[in-house]
Amino acid sequence: MPEGRSRTLLWILIGGGAFFLFVLAVFSLVYLTLHAGTTDAAGFGSFGDRIGVVDLDGVILSPQPVVGQLKKFGDDSSIKAIILHVNSPGGGVAASEEIYREVKRLRDEKKKRVVVSIETVGASGAYYVASASNKIYADHGSIVGSIGVIAQWVNYGDLLKWAKLKDVVLKTGEFKDTGNPARDLTPVEQAYMQSLINNMYGQFVQAVADGRGLKVENVKAIADGKVWTGEQALSMKLIDEVGDFEAAVADTAKTVGIKGEPTLVRPEKDRRTVLDLLLGDVSQYLPTREKMLEQQVGFYFLWK
């Protein structure tokens, strides 16, 4: 090989190696920068003066990741209390109930103090969850309450008739296609659906009564789906104190014996990069028949 060509090849290899190291350094720097604020969640930082913070944000469609985050903080002896930061109108009945049960377990079995701080909205299923905590804070103008159950769907039967389409259903029992959006409910089906809703409503009322130390009849008297401001909710004993998140932190720290400024610990977030999307499993982001079926009839502790 000619000497000039060998020298050119050598410089190409050196240049390529340097570029690779540069790119590696940039990616490492970006990674460390993104994770710089999560060291406390991984178990570092001050020991014994830590308060875990879990966000319950948006419509509750699944108990995860909230239940998992609560369990992790509940099992960590260095976490002296947990603040559930709520900004949610509620959501699915079963999902809300699972989070409620975990909060109640932490409070009653693990003896871990759980405090709820309601930001803009803490209604319906989100309030169901909050009722299991040791103490509830809300701002003066926060939306609180909406104790009730709703099932709602669109009846597109007339649209099918207009398009000259027919809905064909084969079933094994009278109630198997109850809630079919292509037709009206029969009187018997309506009574059946209402009985389910009434049962869930009773569970909601009982949970609030147990959690807030109120009589069932007193909760029923206000459990008509209405919402109130934080200021109104205080006089109704639906919350314990009017105050923002900082007030909840300060009071919680004092209650659990933390002196000085507590360290707030938040769960690590699952960050996804462009490379994750290109090389990883993206099925969760794509619509499937199962996800489409989830849009059918459901029961919700939801404020609309």
Q: Kindly give, in sequence order, each residue whose CB lies less than 8 Å from that of residue 181, ignoring residues fewer than 6 positions away.
A: 153, 154, 155, 156, 157, 296, 297
Under 8 Å between Cβ of 113 and 107:
yes
124 has catalytic annotation = yes
pLDDT the model gives residue 46: 44
Averaged pLDDT for residues 175-189:
93
176 has catalytic annotation = yes
Under 8 Å between Cβ of 99 and 133:
no
Under 8 Å between Cβ of 264 and 54:
no
Question: In whole angstroms, how far apart are CA 273 and each of 41, 60, 161, 267, 279?
Answer: 20, 25, 47, 19, 10
* pLDDT more than 90, % of the chain: 68
Is the predicted pLDDT of residue 84 greater than 50, yes or no? yes
- Give the pLDDT band (50/70/90) at residue 43: very low
d(CA 282, CA 285): 6
CATH number listed for the domain at residues 39-302: 3.90.226.10
Is the predicted pLDDT of residue 165 greater than 60, yes or no? yes
Q: Name the active-site residue from 6, 28, 62, 176.
A: 176
| Largest CA-CA distance found in the chain, in angstroms, rounded | 97
Each residue of 192-226: pLDDT tens digit? 999 999 999 999 999 999 999 999 999 999 999 99
Q: Name the active-site residue from 88, 96, 117, 124.
A: 124
Is the pTM value of this prediction over 0.85? no
What DSSP element (H or E) covers 263? strand 263-265
- Give the pLDDT band (50/70/90) at residue 298: confident
Is the predicted pLDDT of residue 275 greater than 80, yes or no? no
